[in-house]
């Protein structure tokens, strides 16, 4: 996982993110381990299930509670539709690219 700047962690996920494989990602986003700025790149993720969606909501809650910043980037239309259906797109921080997220968060 590349790190753009001190205090910034970029996590690039690839492939479907589901209950069967999200535990390592979940560990990287634990409240005590969260950096000042977390960017999760979803550009290589075709699908997520509800368990993974729950991790994104947990990231949001943890960051809100600790004053940290985060963004999800590169979500395809399928993921954006899921965010809409689950009514989380209105509060999740979502940008089209890592560069756009860095511009707004740093």
pLDDT of residue 5: 73
The answer on pLDDT for 50 being more than 80 is: yes
Segment 73-79 mean pLDDT: 98
* DSSP code, position 48: B
What pTM value is reported for the model? 0.90
Residue by residue, DSSP assigns the chain as ---SSTTEEEEEEES-B-TTT-HHHHHHT-GGG--SEEEEEEEE---B-HHHHHHHHHHHHHHHHHT-EEEEE---HHHHHHHHHTT-TTTS-EESSHHHHHHHH-
Q: What is the mean pLDDT of the chain?
A: 90
pLDDT of residue 46: 97
The answer on pLDDT for 4 being more than 70 is: no
User: Is pLDDT larger for residue 85 or for residue 29?
Assistant: 85
pLDDT of residue 36: 92
Closest residue by Cα to residue 39 from 78, 7, 76, 85: 7
Segment 47-54 mean pLDDT: 94
The domains located in the chain, with CATH, are: 8-105 (3.30.750.24)
The answer on pLDDT for 28 being more than 90 is: no
The answer on pLDDT for 13 being more than 70 is: yes
């Amino acid at each position: 996982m590349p790190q753009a700047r001190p205090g910034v962690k970029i996590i690039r996920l690839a492939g479907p993110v589901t209950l069967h494989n999200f535990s390592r990602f979940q560990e990287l986003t634990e409240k005590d381990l969260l950096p000042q700025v977390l960017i999760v790149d979803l550009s290589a993720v075709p699908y997520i299930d509800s368990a993974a969606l729950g991790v994104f909501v947990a990231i949001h809650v943890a960051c809100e509670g600790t004053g940290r910043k985060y963004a999800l980037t590169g979500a395809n239309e399928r993921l954006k539709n899921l965010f809409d259906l689950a009514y989380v797109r209105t509060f999740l921080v979502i940008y089209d690219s890592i560069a756009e997220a860095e511009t707004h968060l740093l």
